Amino acid sequence: MIKYIALYRKPADVAGFDEKYFATHLPIVGKTPGLLRAEVAKVDRVLVPGFLGDTDLHLVAEMYFESADVMSAAFQSPEWHAAGANLSEIGGLELVAMFTAEVVAG
Distance CA 66, CA 51 (A): 30
pTM (two decimals): 0.89
Identify the architecture of domain 2-102 in CATH: 2-Layer Sandwich (3.30)
d(CA 86, CA 102): 26
- What's residue 51's pLDDT? 66
Q: What pLDDT, on the 0 to 100 scale, is given for residue 45?
A: 78
Domain boundary assignment for the chain: 2-102
Residue type (1 letter), 80: W
pLDDT score for 55: 73
CB under 8 Å to 96, separation ≥6 — which residues?
6, 7, 8, 9, 87
**11-15-21 Cα angle (round to 5):** 75
Per-residue pLDDT of the chain (106 residues; tens, 9 = 90+): 999 999 999 999 999 999 999 999 999 999 999 999 999 999 987 766 776 666 789 999 999 999 999 999 999 999 999 999 999 999 999 999 999 999 999 7
Say what the pLDDT of residue 31 is. Answer: 97
- Residues 8 and 92: beta-carbon distance below 8 Å: yes
pLDDT tens digit sequence for 27-43: 999 999 999 999 999 99
Dist CA 34 CA 71 (whole Å): 7
Burial of 102 (0-12, 13-18, 19+ CB in 10 A): exposed
